[in-house]
Structure 1
Amino acid sequence: MRLRPGGRLLGVLLLLMAGSAVAQELPDDLTQLDLEQLLELELIPIDVLGSHIHLKGQWMVGYRFMHMAMEGGHAHEADYPVRPEHMRMAMHMVEVMYGLTDRLTLMAMLGYQQAAMESRTVQGTRFETSASGPNDLQLAVHYALHPGATHYLVGLLGMQVPLGRVDVRDDTPMGTGQPLPYPMRPGSGTWDLVLGLTSIHRLGNWNLGVHGDALWRTGTNRYGYRLGHRVHAGAWVTYRVRAWMAWTLHVDAHVLGDVQGHDARLNPAMTPTADPALQGERHLTVQPALNFYVPHGPLKGMRWSVYLDRPLLEAHEGAAMETGWQLTLAWQWTR
C-alpha cells in the first residue's frame, strides 16, 4: 500500500473549508417541498450511487463522461513475457430516474466503455490493444427510509443485467483476434445484486454525508468465471458558495475482489492482467469538485459538475496498474 501525493491536497482542501453555515428554516419532511426548493437542497456528489430521491412524477436525466489514465511498471511484471505499461479508459454514462411515489424512485443506468492498453514483450516489442462497448445495465429502486429535510436516509436495491460484452478480441504478437484480458472487458457476463445506503445531514449551507454500496456477483458466466465482488464507501462535505454554485470534498474507498474461476482461453502465465488471482485492488481517493446549478429561467433544474479523483492510498493484488488523475464531467436535468 502506498501513500500518494494527493494526501497533501487533502490537507490544503480541509483548510479551505472554514466558513459559517447559514441557517435555513425547513419543513420536517422533504415531500413538503416543491421542485425548486428540493433542487436547491441537492448538494450531493453526482457519483454517489442511490443518494437521492425524486418526488412523485418527477423525471431526471443525466450524462457523465469519465477519463482515466493508468500506469504499469510493477516489479513483479518482470516475471511475465508480456507486461502492461499504460492504459487509458473513457466512459460515457447515461442515467434516467423517475419518482414513482414521493419516497420511491426508479433508476436505470447504462455506460459505454472505451479502453486502450499499451503492452511490451520481453523482446521489447510494443503493441496496443483496444476494446469498446456497452457496460452492464443497472436497474434499481431508491427508497427514502427517513425523508427529513435536514437529515434523510436513502436505501438502494438493484441488479445489474449482463448487457456488456465479455468476448472482446484484438490482434497481438501472439496472433490475430486474440481474447483480451479481464480489465479490458466492458461486461461481466453475470446477473449481479446491488445494495446501498446513504445518510445525509444538512447544516444550513453545509451538506455532510456518508454512503456505502456493494456489488455482489452471482454465478459464473459462459466462460467459466465471475468478476470479484466490489464494495464502495465514502464521506463528503459540501458548502454552498452561491445560490448557483457549491464545492465538494469527497473521500472515497473502493475494494475489488479477485476473479473467481478462470477463462480457459487466457494464459495466466503470459501477462498479469490474464491471471484471475491478481485482479483485486483497494483504493482510497480524494475528490474535489465544483457543482453549478441553474435555479431559474429556461434551463431551470440543470446541474453541471466537474471533479477530479486522486489516489491517496492504493494497493493491488498484482495485476492492476496505478491510477493517476481521473477527470469526470457530469450533467443532470430534473423536471
Structure 2
Amino acid sequence: MLLFRSLTIPLIALSLSSAVLADASHRADSHGPIGVMGEHMHKEGEVMFSYRYMLMEMDGNLDGTSSVSTDEILEDYRVAPENMTMEMHMLGAMYAPSDDLTLMLMVPLINNEMDHTMQMMGGMGGMGMMMPMRSEFTTETDGVGDIKVGGLYRLNQTDDSTLILNMTLSLPTGSIDEKDVTGMSMGNKVQLPYSMQLGSGTYDLKPGLTYTNSQPTYSWGAQTIATIRLDENDNDYSLGDRIMATAWYARPFADTFSWSLRGAYEYWGDVDGEDKKLNPMMKNMVPTADPDLRGGQRVDLAAGVNWIIPGSATNRLALELIKPVYQDLNGPQMETDYSLVLGWQLSL
C-alpha cells in the first residue's frame, strides 16, 4: 500500500503538470506583458484583434545622467522644454496562415503635446538694464503614425518553450511635416522639431528574436528588437537606429489572472542629418531642434497584470506600468517620468 501511494502521487502530479502545460494557451500568462509586442504566435487559422492605449509622460531634462534645470537651459537657449505627453492608440491584427507563421499589422494613432518656457529681453530695469521676461507656450501634433507590417516565424518549439523570429517593416505613413504656432513664430505655424513629428519618414526594418518558456506555475520570456533606418527621408535626415532588449517573469495567481515583472534596456542614436524644413537658427534656440541631442539609453522596470475575461478564454485585458530606473541622455534632453500601457485582445 505504501509503495502504491509512493508511485501514485508522483504520477498524479505529473498528469496535472502535463494538463496545465497542455492548456497553457488558456492561461492568463500565455501572452507576455502588454508592453511587449510580437511575443506570442497563433495556431493555423486563428485571428487576433488588439487595442493598446499607451501613455508616456516626460518631465524635466537630463544632460547625461544629471538633471538640468530650466534656468540652466535658458543660459544657453531661448526656449526650454518643460514636459511632454505622448499618447498612442495602437490598433493591431494578427493572422496565422500556418502553425509556424503569424502575420501582423499595427496602426498607431498619435497625439503629442509639449510645454515650453521661453525667455525674452523685456522692459528696462534698474540702472537702465534690460530685464529678461519669461512666457510659456504649448505645441501639439496628432495623426496616424508609422504603420507596421510583418510576421513571426517559429524557429524552434519544445513542450514548454518557443523561439520566434520577429521581422517587421515600419512604413513611412506618419507625417514629418507637422507645424504649429510657437512662442517665436509671431502667430504663424512653423515646422516643429523631431520629437513632435508623427513618424520617421523612412522605411525601418525591425528584426528581432523572442524566446518564451511556460512551466506549470510560472512563465518567462526574453526579446530583443532592433530598429534599422533603411534610408534618408524627404527632409534630408534619418532618426537614430535603436536596440531594445527585455526579459520578464510572469505567474498566475488565479484561474484568470497573472502578474508579471519585466526589465528592459533601450539605446537609440542621434539624428543623422538635419531637417531642411526647420529654421536653421532653431537648434541654437531650443535643444529639441538640435539633431546631436537626440540619442541616449534607458533602463526600465515594469509591473503588469493580465486578466482573461470570465466566460471566454479568448478575451483578455492587460495593464503594465513602466518606470525608468536609469537614463543617460545626450542633452539637454527630456527625461521619461513613466509610461503606461493598457490593452485588450480578442482571439477568434
Query: Structure 2-normalised TM-score?
Result: 0.84
Q: Which moved more, 1:44-53 or 1:266-275?
A: 44-53
Partner of 1:125: 135
The equivalences for 1:201-280 within 5 A come to 201-266=213-278, 267-280=282-295
Total equivalences in the alignment: 306
- Root-mean-square deviation (CA, aligned residues, Å) is 1.9
Supply the AA of the counterpart residue of 2:166: L
Match of 1:38, SS?
helix
* From 39, 43, 57, the counterpart of 2:26: 39
What displacement does 1:72 show?
A: 2.2
In 2, Cα distance between equivalents of 1:149 and 1:243: 22
CA distance in 2, matches of 1:77, 1:256: 23
Q: What's 2:318 paired with?
A: 305
Aligned position for 2:58: 70
Distance change >3 Å, CA 322–CA 23, structure 1 → 2? farther
Percent identity between the two aligned chains: 32
Q: Secondary structure at the match of 1:72?
A: strand
Alignment of 1:42-121 (within 5 A): 42-73=30-61, 74-75=68-69, 77-78=73-74, 79-121=76-118
Deviations 1:288-329 (A, max 9, x none): 0111013x63x4401111111111111111143111121211
Distance 1:69 1:51 in 2: 25
TM-superposed CA distance for 1:134, in Å, is: 1.0
SS at match of 1:122: strand
2:304 to 289, 294, 316: 289
Structure 2: gaps of 5 or more residues: 1-14, 62-67, 121-133
Deviation at 1:46, TM superposition (A): 2.4
Give the stretch that moved more between structures: 226-235 or 74-83.
74-83
1:165 corresponds to which of 175, 180, 191: 175
- Taking a change above 3 Å as real, the CA distance of residues 195 and 224 of structure 1, as seen in their structure-2 partners, is same
2:334 to 297, 321, 326: 321
CA displacement 1:31-84 (0-9 Å, x = unmatched): xx6xx7523261411232321111110000000001121112425623111110
Distance of 2:145 and 2:19 partners within structure 1:
40
Q: What's the counterpart of residue 5 of structure 2?
A: none
Aligned mates of 2:158, 2:90 — CA distance in 1 = 30
Unaligned runs of 5+ in 1: 1-21
Give 1:287 deviation, angstroms. 0.5
Letter of the structure 1 residue corresponding to residue 169 of structure 2: M
The 10-residue stretch of structure 1 (234-243 or 45-54) with the greater mean CA deviation from structure 2: 45-54
Measure the CA separation in 1 of the matches of 2:113 and 2:270: 22
Cα distance 1:23–1:326, how it changes in 2: closer, same or farther (>3 A)? farther
Q: CA deviation at 1:23?
A: 6.5
For 1:202 and 1:302, the matched residues in 2 are separated by 20
In 2: Cα distance, 1:118 partner to 1:244 partner: 41
SS of the residue 2:73 aligns to: helix
Larger CA deviation: 176-185 vs 316-325: 316-325
TM-score by length of 1: 0.87
